[in-house]
Amino acid sequence: DVTGPKRNLPPRERIQQIVERWVRQVAEYPLEVGLLYRELVHLEGSAGEWARAVRHENVAQLRQIIHEGQATGEFRAGSVEVMVHQIMGTIAGLTDWYRPDGPIKLEEIVHEVTAWTMAALSGSAAAQEARSAAVTVDAKRAARAAARV
């Protein structure tokens, strides 16, 4: 869905609206969304071209908004590509486990996925600590690998 929120809204509000809308679309059309993002994008011909264009537009829209949010300080610094694909993967992954008749209701899913996304983009203290720990682990691994050479 490439139609998005109005560009005059702050990046934070635009991302919230997109995530909420996409989660609702997955809940309403789980089979179609699953096929689009997991199968159709790999097809040759017009169906594959269409699916790749939809995915490309969605990724481009998120990428642009996240860049804007980083520029204004609304979003933390970090890899825009990783952020975009984490958001896309989280939402597409709902097709694997969310069921309308299951124990978790749609409104709770919308709230949780949106809150998770906003926390990830905002860079809460806990998220910053986790990133710092990951960098430390990566540095230790690199040092061990260099010592073996």
pLDDT tens profile 69-102? 999 999 999 999 999 999 999 999 999 999 889 9
Length of the chain: 149
DSSP assigned state of 78:
S
The answer, as to whether pTM is greater than 0.95, is no
Whether residue 98 contacts residue 104, with contact meaning beta carbons closer than 8 Å, is answered with: yes
Work out the angle at residue 86's Cα, subtended by the Cα atoms of residues 80 and 91, and round it to the nearest 5 degrees. Answer: 130
Amino acid (1-letter code) at residue 80: V
Instruction: Flag whether pLDDT at 141 surpasses 80.
Output: no
